[in-house]
Chains A and B, each alone.
Chain A
Amino acid sequence: MTSQFFNRMTPYMFMAPAGIIMAIALIYPLGYMMYGSLLDWNPSQSIGEAEFVGLKNYVTLWFDPAFRESLGVTLTFAFFVVVAEMLIGVGLALLLDRNIRGMSVLRTLFILPMMIAPVVVGLMWRYMYHPSIGIFNRFLDKVGLEKVDWLGQNALMSVILADIWQWTPFIFILSLAALQSLPQSAIEASRIDGATPWQQIVYIKLPMMLPILIVTALLRLIDAFKVLEVILVMTEGGPGLSTEILALRISRTATEFRELGVAAAMSNYLLMLLMILTVSMFAFTRWQERRANRLAAAIQEDE
């Protein structure tokens, strides 16, 4: 009897530590935030003292031009970053999918930028973009071209460039892994049928990689909404609001403007956006699996 009880409790004992920690430090704070977003709340008050204002924060935010601009910046940033990284990353993977010496060294060097602290990446690029001592402007000066005002007029583009530098390798590594796991027989068959390398890519490799590519792009998109430190160090959101992405605006609203309720409402908007993306990624993989199963079943029936 006791041993049976013990057996039944085993999975819960394995789950308990993780469950407890996630409940008090993740789920409870999220609920706390959702309640907090309905309050007019500043950091010197405890949550019980704050005044209940209903959905006011959400409405105010929705009509707040600064918030809208920040949302626009976030979406622009995420869109360009993901598109550019997918194009470059997948392109490089297709190009470098060959049996060459030193591939593992190459991959090791490629993942370096991802592993380094975002704060340090921001620091590096802020130096390189520096109007007078930065390496880019110095180079432009040397070859006789006009200097570019990197973090001034072209701040958003510069920030996007830095992110592309840091995260293209992620896409590259994942799509290279996808490429190398493709069944060689299909590629071989197409080669025997006389497909050019270009045709192989367009008609065989890309369609077969597509499921993984879509998941990769969604993962990257979700991550693009989390970027904060790189931009904070490079531009602090400026000039004006031109690079103030949502995550940065949340932290400024909470610490500088001292409006925790509004910051919480903003966090909630961001969370909803990410939730939609995550759920669609989830739904997509499920759909993909089901389709694969159906195909497999159909093939078996044919036999």
Chain B
Amino acid sequence: MSDKSYDKQNPAFYALLITLIFMSVGPIVLMFANSFKLDVDITSGTGGLLFMPTIQNYETALCDVLWYEPEHLDFCGLKFGGAFLNSLVIALVSTILTLVIGCMAAYALVRFRFMGRDAASLTTLLVRMVPPAVLLVPVFGLWNNEFCLDKNGFLGGMIRDTFGGRGDVCLAGTHSGIILIYVAMNLPFVIWILQSFILQVPRSLEEAARVDGAGPFQVFFKIVLPLIKPGLAAAAIFTFRIAWNEYLLASALSDRDTKTVPILIVNNMSEFNVEWGVIMATGMLLAIPPIIFTLFASRQIITGMTAGAVKG
């Protein structure tokens, strides 16, 4: 693709392109613009794109992390900053865990013949399509009732003594509970995508390293991992996106202190009187990290998407 000669097209073609771009980006731009408007301006609809931009909505949204008190607010009801932090921790930790665990498994599935390999690879393929909604009931039940430490037991008792609270110590309501289900949910997909990348690593390279005396783990970390970086990037973006955007399971598992941004947005939407400006500001803040990824790593995203679908 290095040649810089482009075909000439007729003007109607460019008109079509512009319409398409307008259609796909328009709603996002509209939301971006509205997040800088006062509610009065949004509901009256005056001005269109000509309005006085205000950061008041963002001040309201971020009131719990601002170093000053916005003057239009008497009370900081929206705990957006905390939710944002929760989202960040959960998404980052689960992405890293999924990647490390996933690429090890993918490597084993591609490079080794061992008993149970076919079963493992088939299971991975099949559970890939399990939707979050199907996991809702069992995860809710298990995380609340079974994956618990008895409060009278040693570890559970220690946690209760240190952090306080009542009842058994359960996974539900903790960051680790949400992270666990996200890692499990994303693993099949990551393994699947990375397999196609590992297949492309020339075997001779690994064998050369082994002849030089490297153990299997050294071969993996020093030879294979650096070579599948594009695949890792693609897988990381997809995993992060799912963990960052997911609503349903997070809403079932989180409590007041661990709720993520999507939950906060949905909770504020369902209230009777929607404050459009503020809600769009929070929506924009949630959308910004994926948008940044897309702008900087669109090539990896496209590679990942096509690898996941076509080479499967």
Contacts and interface: CB of A to CB of B under 8 A. Distances in A.
Nearest to B25: A109
B120 A46 contact: no
A264 B101 CA distance: 29
Contacts of B36: none
Interface in B91-139: 100-102, 104-105, 107-109, 112, 114, 117, 120, 123-139
A210 to B, nearest CB: 13
B105 A27 contact: no
B126 A120 contact: no
Contacts of A94: none
Interface string A237-272: 000000000111011001100001001100100110
Interface residues of A, number: 95
A303 to B, nearest CB: 28
A76 B211 CA distance: 59
A29 B7 CA distance: 55
A216 interface: yes
Contacts, number: 275
Nearest to B133: A247
The secondary-structure label for the interface of chain B is helix
A75 interface: no
A271 B266 contact: no
B48 to A, nearest CB: 10
Contact of A119 (B128, B139, B286): B286
Contacts of A116: 28, 245, 287, 290-291
B191 interface: yes
Nearest to A15: B108
A263 B137 contact: yes
B209 to A, nearest CB: 14
A232 B266 contact: yes
Interface stretch (B78-86, B225-233, B295-303): B295-303
Interface stretch (B50-58, B69-77, B179-187): B179-187
Contacts of B269: 123, 126, 233
A148 interface: no
Interface centre among A117, A118, A170 (most CB of B within 10 A): A117
B66 interface: no
A204 interface: no
Contact of A271 (B5, B130, B180, B181): B130
Contact of B270 (A177, A236, A274): A236
Interface in A107-142: 107-113, 115-120, 123-128, 132-133, 135, 138
Contacts of A278: 125-126, 128-129
Contact of B130 (A11, A30, A111): A30
Interface in B242-281: 244-245, 247-248, 252, 262, 265-266, 269-270, 276, 279-280
A5 interface: no
Contact of B127 (A27, A111, A112, A120): A27
B30 A271 contact: no
Interface centre among B107, B295, B298, B305 (most CB of A within 10 A): B298
Contacts of A263: 136-137
Nearest to B183: A21
A177 B299 CA distance: 12
Contact of B114 (A11, A128, A255, A260): A11
11 contacts: A21-B101, A22-B127, A22-B188, A28-B142, A104-B299, A111-B305, A116-B291, A117-B247, A118-B247, A215-B312, A260-B141
Given A21-B187, A26-B184, A254-B137, 9 more contacts: A15-B104, A18-B101, A22-B188, A107-B302, A116-B291, A117-B244, A118-B245, A119-B247, A123-B269
Closest 7 CB pairs of A and B: A25-B184, A14-B108, A18-B105, A247-B133, A29-B138, A11-B112, A117-B245
